[in-house]
Amino acid sequence: MTSQRSDFASIHLTTEDLPARDRVAVWREVIGRTVLRLDIEPLPDQLFYADVKQRSLSALSVGSCSFSGTHQRTRALLSDGNDALILVVNRAGPLIVSTRGHELRPRDGDAFLMSCAETSAAARPSLGRMNAVVIPYATLAPLVPHVDDAIGRLVPRDGEVLKLLTSYIGAAEEIDPSAATPEMLSSVVTHLCDLIALTIGATRDGAALAQSRGLSAARLTAIKADIAENLGRTDLAVAAVAQRHRLTPRHLHRLFEAEGLTYSEFVLGLRLARAHRMLTDPRFAGWTVKAIATELGFGDRSYFNRAFRRRYGVSPSDLRGRN
């Protein structure tokens, strides 16, 4: 457990913490059947491996799982009364899923919906990885007409909404516990619900609401991640970023305005924060201030110095001298 808050708890379970000779027995009896409510069958003649991370976000949970072999929810394990739904995104590796008498073979990036109230099995002939969102049935059902019909149906990886949902799940997993306010968690939960509903088929009214809430939030999250990964690039102009995300520049501006800031303010703030970390990080002690400014896309050294002093009350060179 990495967080003690009841509305923001994390668990990380891995077979690497277990002696090789005890892995299967402990995972099956203690973790599988008690915690995860799953039975396991390892691959023959291979060392069993599993790694599960799960983060509770109040009304739902997000997580990732890597494993080989078979994990199945048998009738004997349905006695917990859990009727939650699980939206699974197969991130990497061959996967064969059995549910409701159907067999699914999702490709990397495909998704599908499963029910904790029904028997199912997921088999991997080799090690693979998936993401999952566990959401109460009563939360999703009002947003999706005939939600039961969506269980066991493959969602192709090519859809824009599924790509955004996958990105948003990753962002939710990386939330800093120290910065996780109840308001933030509530927004994340709402956006995840909206994106899941859009992914598997929301009602007409629900789709309109989800488009304005969850889809917009996911797009903004993807744009921010793009900017963070490319701070030193010269094509961070609004038009270039908007084109990469298939938006108009005006639409991109509106996404940032909804959060009370401008695109240029966000980019500058991110660059300055990254510069501050680099100037105080011993790993970059050999970098000159000019090199750091250039690395982060500041073409004008004097502008960088002025902006840095306004933000932190000290020049980059003086900050470097203190450390």
Rounded Cα–Cα distance for residues 292 and 48 (Å): 45
Q: What is the chain's mean pLDDT, rounded?
A: 85
Please state, in angstroms and rounded to a whole number, the distance separating the CA atoms of residues 17 and 14: 6
**Distance (Å, whole) CA 320 – CA 323:** 6
Rounded Cα distance between 200 and 162, Å, is 9
Distant-in-sequence contacts of 102-108, Cβ < 8 A, 24+ apart: 102/152, 104/152, 104/154, 106/154, 107/157, 108/157
Q: What is the pLDDT of residues 15-71, one digit of tens each?
A: 998 998 888 999 888 888 888 889 999 888 788 899 999 998 878 999 999 998 999
CB of 135 closer than 8 Å to CB of 193: yes
| Residue percentage of the chain with pLDDT more than 70 | 92
CA distances from 4 to 182, 208, 264, 270 (A): 14, 36, 37, 30
Answer whether 93's CB lies under 8 Å from 51's CB.
Answer: no
3-state secondary structure of 14: strand
Tokens of 187: 């927004």
- For residue 47, how far is the Cα from the chain centroid? 29
The residue with greater pLDDT, 179 or 120, is 120
Q: What are the pLDDT digits (tens) for 290-305? A: 999 999 988 888 999 9
CA–CA separation, 214 and 73 (whole Å): 31
- Contact at 8 Å (CB) between 65 and 169? no
Q: Which of 132-136, 185-189, 257-261, 274-278 has the highest mean pLDDT?
A: 132-136
How far is it between the farthest Cα atoms of the chain? 69
pLDDT at 7: 61
Residue bearing tokens 């983060």 = 55
Residues contacting 84, CB < 8 A, separation 6+: 115, 116, 134, 135, 136, 137
Tokens representing 258 are 């909804």
In terms of DSSP bridges, do strands 85-92 and 60-73 run parallel, antiparallel, or are they unpaired? unpaired
Instruction: Phi first, then psi: give them for residue 142, nearest 5 degrees.
Output: -65, -20
DSSP state of 63: E
Contact 97, 103 (CB under 8 A): yes
Q: Which domains can be identified in the chain, with CATH numbers?
A: 10-229 (2.60.120.10), 238-322 (1.10.10.60)
pLDDT digits (tens, 9 = 90+) for 75-91: 888 877 788 999 999 99
Distinct helix (H) and strand (E) counts, the chain? 13, 10
Q: Which two tokens stand for residue 83?
A: 């009727």
**What digits encode the pLDDT tens for the residues 127-166?**
999 999 999 999 888 788 788 989 998 899 888 888 888 9
Q: How far apart are CA 62 and CA 71, in angstroms?
A: 18
Q: pLDDT grade, residue 1 (50/70/90)? A: very low
